[in-house]
Amino acid sequence: MLKRFTFTLLLLSVTQGYTQTPQDALITIATYAEDANTPPTLEDYHYANIADVGSHNLHAINAKVKALSFKDVDTQAEVQNLVDAYNQMIASVMGIVTSHILTPVDTDGDGVPDINDAFPNNPNENADSDGDGVGNNADARPNDPNITDCNTEQVLVGYDFETGQPIYEEREVCS
């Protein structure tokens, strides 16, 4: 009688998609990565203690699992990391800010992420509009790639006819 009862419970578990333990659920998920035909269900993720899997992302999460090997998804932490990474990627693409999204790297601390900073190691520069290699703040002509440096110099323009003294003007000399 006991064997028949156990078999009946096992049969009910299998036919109704019920996973009895977290380890059973993880095996179901990891086995899917190794070419099993039946994808894990929401219940499998629930019993494996995996958070943030729902009907909105189940198919995509299963596709990610399928692309990996058994060893890549045979622990709760590995599967949860996969789910978290997928959800973060989707949130980022959708423009949703969550506390799980990482802050972009800003090596020089100027407030401009390195990915958008033409000079990621220089806190005084972040753009080079003319592409001449000199940052806009230091570039005398930030929109002219042919001029990078200008100085004001005294330039001799002539002599005073009465006194013979030289006449100088301040002019901007650029290179």
CA 42 to chain centre: 27
Q: Give the model's pLDDT for residue 82.
A: 93
Q: Give the model's pLDDT for residue 9.
A: 44
Domain that includes residue 173, residue range: 141-175
Torsion of CA 56, 62, 67, 73, to 10 degrees: 120
What global pTM score does this model have? 0.45
133 torsion bin: left (phi>0), alpha (psi -120 to 50), beta (else): left
Least-confidence region, from 78-82, 143-147, 168-172: 143-147
User: 86 lies in a domain?
Assistant: yes
Per-residue pLDDT of 45-59, as tens digits, reads 999 999 999 999 999
Tell which of 61, 94, 127 closes a domain.
94
Same domain, 86 and 7: yes
pLDDT of 2 above 70: no
User: 51 lies in a domain?
Assistant: yes
Q: Give the model's pLDDT for residue 138.
A: 84
User: 27 lies in a domain?
Assistant: yes
Tell which of 68, 94, 120 closes a domain.
94
Triad 149, 128, 147: Cα angle to 5°:
25
- Segment 100-125 mean pLDDT: 83
Same domain, 13 and 90: yes
CA 92/CA 115 separation, integer angstroms: 15
CA 100/CA 49 separation, integer angstroms: 19
User: 104 lies in a domain?
Assistant: no
Same domain, 72 and 154: no
Name the DSSP letter for residue 101: S
Place of tokens 């109704």: 16
Name the DSSP letter for residue 105: P
User: 103 lies in a domain?
Assistant: no
Same domain, 7 and 85: yes
CA 30/CA 73 separation, integer angstroms: 5
User: 170 lies in a domain?
Assistant: yes
Q: Are 33 and 62 in contact (CB under 8 A)?
A: no
- Segment 129-134 mean pLDDT: 85
Name the domain count of the chain. 2
